[in-house]
A and B are shown apart, each in its own frame.
Chain A
Amino acid sequence: ELKVEQNPLFLSMQEGKNYTIYCNYSTTSDRLYWYRQDPGKSLESLFVLLSNGAVKQEGRLMASLDTKARLSTLHITAAVHDLSATYFCAPGRLETSGSRLTFGEGTQLTVNP
Chain B
Amino acid sequence: SQTIHQWPATLVQPVGSPLSLECTVEGTSNPNLYWYRQAAGRGLQLLFYSVGIGQISSEVPQNLSASRPQDRQFILSSKKLLLSDSGFYLCAWSVPLPGDRTDTQYFGPGTRLTVL
Interface residues of A (CB under 8 A from B): 4, 30-31, 33, 35, 41-45, 48, 50, 88, 90, 94, 96-106
Contact = CB atoms under 8 A, between A and B. Distances in A.
B113 to A, nearest CB: 14
Interface of B: 32, 34, 42-46, 49, 51, 57, 90, 94, 96, 101-110
Contact of A94 (B44, B96, B106): B96
Contacts of B101: 30-31, 50, 94
A32 B108 CA distance: 20
A45 B106 contact: yes
A98 B32 contact: yes
A13 to B, nearest CB: 20
A107 B110 CA distance: 20
A103 B43 contact: yes
Nearest to A47: B104
Nearest to A43: B107
A4 B43 CA distance: 10
Contacts of B51: 96-98
